[in-house]
Structure formats: structure tokens, C-alpha cells
Amino acid sequence: MTRLGMSLAGSYLGYQLQNLFLLGDEGGQRKKRVMQKSAAKMRQELEALKGPLMKFGQALSMQSHLVPEEFLQELSSLQMRAPAMHPSLMRIQFKNSLGTYPEEIFGSFEEEPFAAASLGQVHRAVTKKGQPIAVKIQYPNIRKAVTSDLNLMKTLLLPARTTRHVSAAFIKELEGRILEEIDYQHEAENIAFFQKAMKLPYVELPRVYPAYSSGQVLTMSFVEGEHFTEWLKTKPSQELRDLVGGRLFELFYYQVCRMDSLHADPHLGNYLFRHDGSLGLVDFGCVKYFDAQFLDLVRKTYFPEAEAAESKFKALYEHQGIPYSEKAREIFRELNKLYRIVYPTKAEEQKRLTDFGDPWFLKELTRLSQKILSNRLILPELFFYIRAEGGLYNTLHQLKARVPASDIVRRCLLN
């Protein structure tokens, strides 16, 4: 019985399967639109994984041709939640990490969390100097549970690796991203990097309080704003939607063009919206730092001269030491179609607004993205890039924003 208990506690998958008993009572699960019965079943199966392992499942299903285009939008919006901690457990976790209880170091601390995180939960608090803060606390045993499940996943995927449905490099890349999320100190470093490197005046980033942070507790300044659904209820004007959409678009390309990195978790839960059109950016657990040369080659594909377009893309594969085959050429063709929809190359069309609210547009984007991401020969680095980009476009679609995409990308490239 002890061994059964140990395996039950040691498996993050085990936690999530148990959620079948719990989430209905706790009422914590988000209801999503279901496009087809089979899509709902797929989503439920992946959702049962939750946490970082769900990212693995999302990414793998995109890679292994299991996902029809209707599912891609559902998959990209799946959000991951750790088990909820009641105050008794939360206080023990806090004390084990920082050696003291929250009420001993903060002016005030709310024992009920105000938000869930993929590996824990977030509490509102105020420092003794009166500064509002957010304290993220990790669920116990997460590191061991995720590591054990990653090993299990890798073993289960051996046949797929043998048949080359999934590459070893791809799995290694995914694993690296997931393991980084477990360490909140790594997230603190990511925030510090963004604080230093991101100079967009309309984006607020949190500040870390290192004295109240550790590998399992992250204390940050409180970033105000509403989540997307609440903000939409205030019925923002088309003008405001366009402004916010343009800023989200610029935020993405600013990172790619100036920071050689990406805030890589592309879902709406990581943005906070304000009525003046400014944005808050939260959750830096998953930041992708690209090879500068690789990203330079990616940028060269944005506005290539027609005849040089493919050679720019081919250079990406040569840089990674991977042969440029017919499969890779397929990726180029689809990517080219995708980008020409989003931002045209012709100078006279530079100011043209891309209407992300157009349903045809999203369907076409989804179809192309799915085709690209499910190609076995997609580079792992490119996978994260396109996934993040797809998440952005999905967000802009929900925003129904009209964005001068070409203009923004050109400005980012020039500066």
C-alpha cells in the first residue's frame, strides 16, 4: 500500500487524474467552447494531463498528425492548472521555502489565492512598506512529479522516435522548457531580463522581490489589469481594440527583433488589459532565448525579395545542420503563404490593415499553422516561434483587431 501511495503522490499525471473527482465539486475548471464531440474528448484527455505535461501533449499531438485543424484553436487555448492548496498546506509550503510564515514578513497577506498558476497559485499581499505584491507559491512535490512523468513520456515515445515521427531534438527542447518552469528562480531571472531589455512604454512588467523569493515562492509587484474576458465585457470600442491589437503585435515582434527571445506561453491568461490600452505582462516561466544568428535568419524571411525567399529559409536549416529536403520545402511554402496573409511584401501595401477578426483569416491561419507544426522536419526552435506567433494571432482574432501588421514589422526591423 505504501508503494501504491508513493506512486500516486509521485505522479503529476496521477494528480490530474484525481482531479476527475475534485474539479466538479470545486467548480474550478474553465468551460470552453466545443467545436465537435471528438474535439471535446481530445481536449478532455489532454486537460487531464494539466500542468507542464499538457504542453508536452499539446506539442506532440501537433507534431504527430493527430490533430485536425478544428482542434488547433482549442489546443492553443488550453490552460494549465496545478492542484489547489488550502491555507494550511500553502502556509507549510511558504515556511519550508522561506523559513517563516507570510504574516511574519508581509504587512498583510490573503490566504485565499486570487489566481491559479500552472504549478501553484498566486496570492495578493502588501509589503510592510505598503507596496501591493503578488506571491506565487508552488505546490509540493511538483518537481519530482513532473520529472518522473517526463521520463515516463520519453520512454513511451521511444517507438515514435524510432520511426522519426518525433525527433529527439524536439523532445529535448520541450523538456528543457518544461523543467525551466519548475524553478521560480529561473522565472525571476527571466523577469529581470525583460525589465532590462523591454522598453515599450505601454507594457508593465512585474518587479521581483528577491528577499521574499526562492525556487518555490516568487514575490513580485502586483500588475493591475483585467483578464481578457472581463475586459471584453466592458465593450471596448473598435478603436481601442485596434490600439491594443497593434500593441500586442508590436510586443511580439519587438521581442523577436530586439531581444532575441520570446515570452513563449501564448495564451490570453498572460496578458492584463487596461482601459487606456496599456498592457500588463505576467507569467515568465516559459521564456525562449533564441540563438541570435538563427533569429537573424528568421527575420530575413519576413520581407524577402521573391526569388531570394526560399534561400533565406533554407539558410535556417543549414544553420542547424539539418538537410533541406522536400518536407522542409513544404514548410517554407506554407509559411510564405501565412506571412503574405499577415503582412504583404509590397511597399504600397505597407499601411494596409490586417483584419485579424476575419473568420476566413483565422481558418486559413489555423490550417497553415497546423500543417507547419505537424511537419516532422520542423526545427524545434521554429516550433516554439510559430506556436507563440499562432497564439498571438489567435488572441488578435478574439480581439477582432485590425492591425497595420506590415508597418509594425518593418519598424521593428528598422529599429
Partner 1 sequence: MPFGSFIMSTASKKGKRLLNKERTKAAILKVALHSFRSKGFDKTTTKEIAKRAGIGEGTLFNYFKTKEELALYFFEQEIEEAMKAYQQDRRIQKAPLAEQLFFVIHKQLEYLGPHEDFLSAILVQSVRPYSKLSPFSLESQQLLLCYLKFIRDILEAAAGRGEIPSLGEMGPHLFWFYYLFVLMYWLNDRSEHKEDSLAFLDRSLKVGVNIIRKIKTQGLWKW
Q: Which residues bind partner 1 (CB under 8 A)?
A: 1-2, 5-6, 8-10, 14-15, 18, 21-22, 25, 83, 85-89, 92-93, 96, 139-141, 144-145
Q: Find the shortest distance in angstroms from Cβ 339 to partner 1.
A: 46
CA distance 128 to 321: 54
SS3 assignment, position 136: strand
Nearer to partner 1, 1 or 414 (CB): 1
Q: Find the shortest distance in angstroms from Cβ 65 to partner 1.
A: 35
- Nearest residue to 319 via CA among 290, 293, 288: 293
Q: Find the shortest distance in angstroms from Cβ 88 to partner 1.
A: 5
Nearer to partner 1, 3 or 199 (CB): 3
CA distance 203 to 126: 22
Query: What does each C-alpha distance from 302 to 132, 195, 260, 341 come to in angstroms?
Result: 42, 27, 15, 12
Nearer to partner 1, 9 or 198 (CB): 9
Dihedral angle of Cα 387, 208, 212, 90, to the nearest 10 degrees: -30
CA distance 350 to 357: 19
Nearer to partner 1, 96 or 108 (CB): 96
Nearer to partner 1, 86 or 129 (CB): 86
Q: Find the shortest distance in angstroms from Cβ 83 to partner 1.
A: 7
Residue with grid cell 480581439, as numbered in its chain: 399
CA distance 389 to 369: 9
Nearer to partner 1, 19 or 354 (CB): 19
Nearer to partner 1, 109 or 317 (CB): 109
Q: Find the shortest distance in angstroms from Cβ 5 to partner 1.
A: 5
Q: 207 Cβ partners below 8 Å, 6+ apart?
A: 191, 195, 220, 221
Residue with grid cell 521581483, as numbered in its chain: 208
Q: Find the shortest distance in angstroms from Cβ 140 to partner 1.
A: 4
Q: Find the shortest distance in angstroms from Cβ 9 to partner 1.
A: 4
Dihedral angle of Cα 306, 394, 72, 194, to the nearest 10 degrees: 90
- Nearest residue to 254 via CA among 231, 281, 225, 274: 281
CA distance 198 to 213: 22
Nearer to partner 1, 21 or 360 (CB): 21
Q: Find the shortest distance in angstroms from Cβ 306 to partner 1.
A: 57
β-partners of residue 218 are 136
